[in-house]
Amino acid sequence: MFKYLMFFGAFLFISVGHAEDMTEEQMAAEIDLDLGEEIHEVCAGCHGEFGQGGKKGEYPRLAGLPAKYIMEQVKNFKSEKRKNMPMRPYANDRELPDEDIPSIAAYLSQIKLTSKMPEFDKNTTAYEKLLIAKKVFNIARVDGDIESGKEMYVDDCKLCHGKNGKGKKGSETPPLSGQYTEYMTRQIQHFATGERWHEYAEDLFEDMEPEEIQAIMAYLSTTDD
């Protein structure tokens, strides 16, 4: 049903890129990872020590999301284009001035979580193992029709969210693999009602049945195993 998107793909990437008016060079000049780490102490209270999120997706994962996407969302929270009560006391000009946003976004974006415990060689110390184990993060499998979820994903979502929900290199569209399914389900409900903006929300989400959302989530929950 969404095949025509293929033809508009190139145009869309330009049109969704509007939110960030800074050039790559300007962004790089404003990034201070130490400052990012300092700001992160506040965010970590909800989003976790490694930006892994928590409380079954009440707090989304931020680790590894594209920096430009994080920047855009933080700006949306500040302007209340995207409403989020819990973040209100933090996402405002006094607590988080615009010039600090590239640093916190870059800091969160570079955090790498692994979805499996790696094989250790005999030189790995217990302490190193502990640090690695803390960054192992895997989305729990969800019941649902994985096959039809995958089909819907490939037809309607893959163009923007990338193969297996991994996002696309250089794109600021968020990956969906490795994100809490409860959180994403809630976002889809917000897209359907218009509470949160999403490109083509009407066509994509308004008539989506709960079982269809469930199936897409079942599929996505397999993509980080």
Residue 60 contacts ligand HEC per CB under 6 A: yes
Residue 180 contacts ligand HEC per CB under 6 A: no
Q: Which is nearer to ligand HEC, 15 or 125 (CB)?
A: 15
> Among 20-28, 30-38, 121-129, 193-201, which window interacts with ligand HEC (CB under 6 A)?
193-201
Which residues 2-31 are close enough to bind ligand HEC by CB under 6 A? 5, 12, 16
Residues 49, 195: Cα–Cα separation, whole Å: 29
Which residues 80-139 are close enough to bind ligand HEC by CB under 6 A? 84, 86-87, 90, 96, 104
Q: Which is nearer to ligand HEC, 81 or 129 (CB)?
A: 81
CB of 181 to ligand HEC, least distance (A): 9
Q: How far is CA 190 from CA 15, 33, 183, in A?
A: 21, 33, 11
Can you list the alpha helix ranges (DSSP code H) found in the chain?
5-16, 24-30, 33-47, 67-79, 101-109, 126-134, 146-156, 158-161, 181-193, 201-205, 210-220
Residue 157 contacts ligand HEC per CB under 6 A: yes
Residues 92, 98: Cα–Cα separation, whole Å: 9
